[in-house]
A and B are shown apart, each in its own frame.
Chain A
Amino acid sequence: MNSIIQYFKEILQGVGSLLKGMQVTNRYFFSPGKIVTQKYPNNRKDLVMFERFKGEVVMPHNENNEHKCTGCGICEINCPNGTIEVISKTLVTEDGKKKRIIDKHIYRLGMCTFCALCVKTCPSDALAFSQEFEHAVFNRALLIKTLNKPGSQLMKGVE
């Protein structure tokens, strides 16, 4: 007799647990307000990334096309996988002194692991992360970027 009671008890408990699960899924089916998906390409305009989001490394320039990079190469040394290459050139200033300035700051986005060591160790805060995250291109060569804009100069007062 006991085993028969046990048998029906098992069935009822089992069905009960199943109904409990169905209750949850059914409730979500009838509550469209809880949908969490974003319609991504459609909401491009009002999509705001967090300010610290590591999209890609950029070199901020001000309105006079000036940046802060002195070409010291600390970012290149700190980069774990050779993403950054700093090509500098020597310039003779007006008062006859020799000064090393940056020629090209090459950044290979395809190799970057976003460890933030370059941005963090830069002594003059020349590098920063942008919030851009749509990196796909058709040609791999386009991922090799030159961060300093053509014709840009070192900001005054940065050594």
Chain B
Amino acid sequence: MEEIIKEVVIGEQEEYLINIGPQHPSTHGVLRLVVSLKGEIVKNVQPHIGYIHRGIEKMCESITYPQIIHLTDRMDYLSACINNEAVCLTVEKALEVEIPDRIKIIRTIMAELTRIQSHQLFWASYGMDLGGQTCYFYGLRDREKILDIFEETTGGRMIVSYNCPGGLMYDIHPNFQKRVKEFIKYFRSVLWEYDAILTGNVIFRERTIGIGKLSLVDAISYGITGPSGRASGFSCDIRKQEPYSAYDRVKFNEVMFKEGDTYHRYLARIEEMRESMNIIDQLIDNIPEGQYFVKMKPVIRLPEGEYFQRVETARGELDVFIISDGNKNPYRLKFRSPNFVNLGVLNHITKDFKIADLIAIAGSLDFVIPDIDR
């Protein structure tokens, strides 16, 4: 095939280019946005990424499947548990291992707790992006309680490394159920504060309603998944569509909105916290007794072939695609990380909004930079 590549010129001459990031309070890490401004109006946003690129996909090609777990923790560090689960599910699917209910249910509870703590941090940092700094501390205060639950059971706070191919690293701690119930009770009693401080606040509503609209067609075309996609009416919850672990036995609503603006992306996450608590409610008393792991071979070799697994992280759809050549390490391992795909839409939805809106929109897409760069 012949090569037809045209050169691209970014930014017209009369526009005012500013760099937001890589060190900037509201890019939540080392994301760099080259923004062309006309006065305060954003004309073009070019994301420059790769400041924290570690080559996880390349590294995975030289390590074994159980070892991959500790790298997935470090991709989207706020959905560490779900990322682990994704790899484990892929490996188990390839080996056709039957996973007992106990493992499935514990995995689901852990995943939902992870989702809650991720959304709590979203709420916290989103408030701070918009200038309300108190939100940050209230969000973190409540998140600490989940991290404590994680620490008691897994030994890690964010980087849990809890799932492993064939089950879990450790059994749940004896206090686990009690503490989770305490947390759910506590969190239900403080969730109204989140609404009082931010959701209902007139300044917040003015700042977010109608800002950064993403239509359903664009959401699908850009592949925006997770709460951001569902705020545009894109039914993309993998937990509903291709239930894995114990999601087929719980009842929950897929939080969907039609508007697709910044406010509804925010609201989708707040509502998801409530749904996650419902899921945990249904499961926490029904953890069956049994083994917490399935005995696997000491060296895991996947049969030759291609394996694709989709899971729903706190930010959207994470796909793990393993091409195996029968060895103990994968021939090619691809992570379709939700943040990476969601970043692609930023330029499209920030056009002709103000620079303050750019921060609000970027915040509402809830980027985790290590997940973008991998």
Contacts and interface: CB of A to CB of B under 8 A. Distances in A.
Does chain A touch chain B in the assembled complex, meaning CB atoms less than 8 Å apart?
A: yes
A104 interface: no
Contact of B66 (A14, A20, A50, A78): A78
B69 to A, nearest CB: 7
A139 B70 CA distance: 27
B202 A115 contact: no
Given A25-B134, A52-B152, A52-B153, A18 B71 contact: no
B170 A36 contact: no
A32 B141 CA distance: 15
Contacts of A18: 201-203
Interface-central residue, A21, A24, A78, by most chain B CB under 10 Å: A21
Given A36-B144, A52-B173, A115-B70, A13 B202 contact: yes
B155 interface: yes
A41 B162 CA distance: 30
What interface size band does chain A fall in?
Answer: 20 to 34
B169 interface: yes
Nearest to B67: A80
Contact of A21 (B73, B155, B170, B196): B196
Interface string B169-203: 11001000000000000000000010011101111
B89 interface: no
A113 interface: yes
A52 B174 CA distance: 12
A115 B173 CA distance: 18
Interface string B139-179: 00100100010011111100101001000011001000000
Contacts of B97: none
Contact of A20 (B63, B69, B151, B200): B200
B75 to A, nearest CB: 13
B202 A14 contact: yes
Contacts of B203: 18
Interface string A4-16: 0000000001110
Nearest to A15: B202
A114 B161 contact: yes
Given A78-B67, A80-B71, A117-B66, A52 B197 contact: no
Contacts of A54: 155-156
A114 B201 contact: no
Contacts of B173: 52
Nearest to B159: A114
Given A24-B197, A54-B155, 5 more contacts: A21-B200, A52-B154, A54-B156, A114-B159, A129-B155
Interface of A: 13-15, 17-18, 20-21, 23-25, 36, 50, 52-54, 78, 80, 113-117, 120, 129
Nearest 4 interchain pairs by C-beta: A115-B70, A14-B202, A80-B67, A54-B155
14 contacts: A13-B202, A17-B202, A20-B200, A24-B197, A36-B144, A50-B148, A50-B155, A53-B155, A54-B155, A54-B156, A80-B71, A113-B70, A115-B67, A115-B69
